[in-house]
Amino acid sequence: MSLPFVVTSGEPAGIGPDLCLLMAREAQPHTLIAIASLELLKSRAELLGLDIQLLPVQPDAWPQTPAPAGSLYVWDTALKAPAEAGRLDPDNGPYVLETLTRAGQGCLNGTFAGMITAPVHKGVINEAGIPFSGHTEFLAELTHTEQVVMMLATHGLRVALVTTHLPLKDVASAITAERLERVTRILHADLVGKFGIARPRILVCGLNPHAGEGGHLGREEIEIIEPALARLRDEGIELIGPLPADTLFTPKNLEHCDAVLAMYHDQGLPVLKYKGFGAAVNVTLGLPIVRTSVDHGTALDLAGSGRIDTGSLQVALETAYQMSGA
């Protein structure tokens, strides 16, 4: 018997609940359980005009087979306050984190094969008085993982990040040889172990314009990045770079590339999202569990409208299945 997967419904005022319900219109190849408020899903289904049978499940009796089309297994998690589509409420910040905790701990203890996350709203969780910088960092802490790597992927392109949610003014000081080497080793190991690529070829962005222009536009490439990459190559990791980011993302360079390693969030992700927005997946590498996510935000203005695309969620599901070997 294969283990079930779980999907967290994300910010209750956003499109996460809608995604769960729309996904349930078709049968999944593996057992999938939504961790969400049953009350929220019922009200959102009514708002969307969806006839989805919600099937409550409990930890002592997980379902053995996938739910039929038109139905959804739900591990009921109580809201802290009534939820209205499109209207954020800090009182529900703890609810969002409870769904993530249930999913993450279930993956850790071997109950679930992997977790797929709908979007959360970082700002409203912080307004609730809970320090929160994102799924990636939260799951690293939950799983006691010292270093994780954020990677987004779409057809023909994977982009991993050396730094994630940092203000731009803090990025350069965060690019240390130690961090760069740890991130690269994790990226390489998971490309081999979870994606089945025998010898990954990784392109590495420089930090500065023109990769530092020989030191005239910054010395991080010369003093930090190039020596770190040389040490990693000595370990057998195939790395090309550091390359200027403005010309790295060209078809010729990407043709024989398995992943790009970008130095910061807005260096690599705008390119990936331009190429595959709505059909991309966010993957957390380095965790002892499988975690994937949609590539978009809560879309508060679309919650409850029925005018959303489930493409990214489907890619996130398929990627989780692949990574777990299901």
Residue 127 sits in the same domain as residue 214: no
Query: Binding site: what residues are annotated?
Result: 135-136, 165, 210, 265, 273, 282, 291
- Of 104, 105, 123, the residue nearest 115 (C-alpha): 104
Query: Binding site for a divalent metal cation: what residues are annotated?
Result: 165, 210, 265
Phi, psi values for residue 56, rounded to 5°: -65, 140
Residue 123 sits in the same domain as residue 181: no
Structural domain including 228 reads 149-274
Residue 209 sits in the same domain as residue 315: no
Cα angle 260, 262, 267; round to 5:
120
Query: Binding site for substrate: what residues are annotated?
Result: 135-136, 273, 282, 291
Task: Report the alpha-carbon distance of residue 143 to residue 209 in Å, rounded.
Answer: 36
What average pLDDT does the structure give for the chain? 95
**How big, in percent rounded to 5, are the helix, strand and coil portions of the chain?**
40, 20, 40
- Residue 165: the pLDDT is 85
**pTM score, whole prediction:** 0.88
Residue 87 sits in the same domain as residue 123: yes
Beta-bridge mates of residue 116: 7, 292
- The DSSP letter of residue 22 is H
CATH number at residue 66: 3.40.718.10
Residue 266 sits in the same domain as residue 173: yes
pLDDT surpassing 80 at residue 326: no
pLDDT surpassing 80 at residue 1: no
Task: Report the alpha-carbon distance of residue 33 to residue 258 in Å, rounded.
Answer: 32
Parallel/antiparallel/unpaired status of strands 281-285 and 32-36:
unpaired
Residue 28 sits in the same domain as residue 85: yes
Q: Is residue 281 part of a domain?
A: no
pLDDT > 90: percent of the chain: 91
Residue 132 sits in the same domain as residue 9: yes
Q: Is residue 84 part of a domain?
A: yes
Q: Is residue 284 part of a domain?
A: no
- Of 147, 137, 151, 140, the residue nearest 261 (C-alpha): 151
Q: Is residue 279 part of a domain?
A: no
Question: 164-218: per-residue pLDDT in tens?
Answer: 889 999 999 999 999 999 999 999 999 999 999 999 999 999 999 999 999 999 9
Q: Is residue 283 part of a domain?
A: no
- Residue 136: the pLDDT is 84
Domain total for the chain? 2
